Amino acid sequence: MSSTIGVQNIAHTNGTVAATVDSGGVVTFTNAAVNAGQVINTYIKSINTGVNAGNRNRNPYHWAALDFNHPITSANNYFLWELSTFTLHTNHAAGSLEASENNSTWVNASNKSDLTGTAIVQSGSNITWTPTGGGDVHLYSYPHIRFNNSPNSNYSAAGSALGIYKPTGSPTRLYWRSKFWSENSTAELSIGGNPSGGNPHACMALSSIKVIEVVGQ
């Protein structure tokens, strides 16, 4: 035996509508429950270009081509990010991701160690040099990525990093930017999949920033 219930709204006895059913059968929940750890949105920026940043010895290079911003659902959520790219360099190449809530003030994008809000505690040995042009010394003391040295000019070293960012204010958008440098070499630093600026050889995207917005615990 089968039956069909024809209804447009499902409501509490007090009249509060919990869900509606349209003419196409699509159900829309008025206030769907959101659980800790639930993924709300995923954002991504990917490119297959590259750049020769020149001599970046202790002088971080802001790779604007990979800059990225997106709206957010709530400043109370957590943002799991992944930065991936390649470098071509002979000695001590490194990189980090920065976050901004206003596209003006930039901070280390890794400020939480889990979804309960536990702060990152960075300790141990660190660099003693000050970045050329100033900047956040703490960020460069603890880079998110350290790349392997490239054995020859035909080989780029892959690197990636993961982190968690929790807004400290009440932004409606988040902004991301990456910086790369050498800690001990004046050799040219190439970043990305196509450092020469020529034919990318039909490569898929080789550099990316991915951000997943999740509900904190």
Q: How many CB atoms lie within 10 A of CB 62?
A: 15
On average, the pLDDT of the chain sits at 84
What integer pLDDT is reported at residue 61 of this predicted model? 93
Q: Which residue has the higher pLDDT, 156 or 202?
A: 156
Q: Which of the two residues, 8 and 73, has the higher pLDDT score?
A: 73
CA distance 194 to 53: 12
d(CA 154, CA 164): 34
Residue 27 has pLDDT above 60, yes or no: yes
Q: What is the pLDDT of residues 104-162, one digit of tens each?
A: 999 889 999 988 889 887 766 666 677 776 666 666 777 899 898 876 666 788 899 99
Token pair in block for residue 130: 């000050």
The pLDDT of residue 197 is 46
Who wins on pLDDT, 130 or 82? Answer: 82
Which amino acid is residue 46, in one-letter code?
A: S
The structure tokens listed for 160 are 């990636």
Give the pLDDT of residue 125.
62
Across 28-40, average pLDDT: 73
Taking the domain 39-214, which CATH number applies? 2.60.120.1340
Give the pLDDT of residue 198: 47
Contacts of 52 (CB under 8 A, 6+ apart): 188, 189, 190, 195, 196, 197
Q: Residue 26 above 90 pLDDT? A: no
Domain(s) of CATH 2.60.120.1340: residues in the chain: 39-214
Least confident residue range of 153-167, 182-196, 197-211: 197-211
3-state secondary structure 75-139: CCCEEEEEEEEEEECCCCEEEEEEEECCCCCEEECCCECCCCCCECCCCCCCCCCCCCCCCCHHH
For residues 77-105, give the mean pLDDT: 93
Within its chain, how far is the Cα of 214 from the centroid? 13
The reported pLDDT for the residue numbered 128 is: 67
Take residue 191 and report the two structure tokens written for it.
């970043």
Smallest Cα–Cα separation from 144: which of 209, 96, 105? 96
Q: What is the pLDDT of residue 16?
A: 85
* Res 200 pLDDT > 50: no
| pLDDT tens digit sequence for 46-76 | 998 889 999 998 889 999 999 999 999 999 9
Question: According to the model, what pLDDT value does residue 20 have?
Answer: 85
| pTM (2 d.p.) | 0.80
What is the DSSP annotation of 19-81? EEE-TT--EEESS----TT-EEEEEEEEE--EEEEEE-BT--EE-GGG-EEEE-S-TTSEEEE
pLDDT, position 32 = 63
In the predicted structure, residue 10 carries a pLDDT above the cut 90: no
pLDDT at residue 196 tops 70: no
Q: What are the tokens at 192?
A: 């990305």
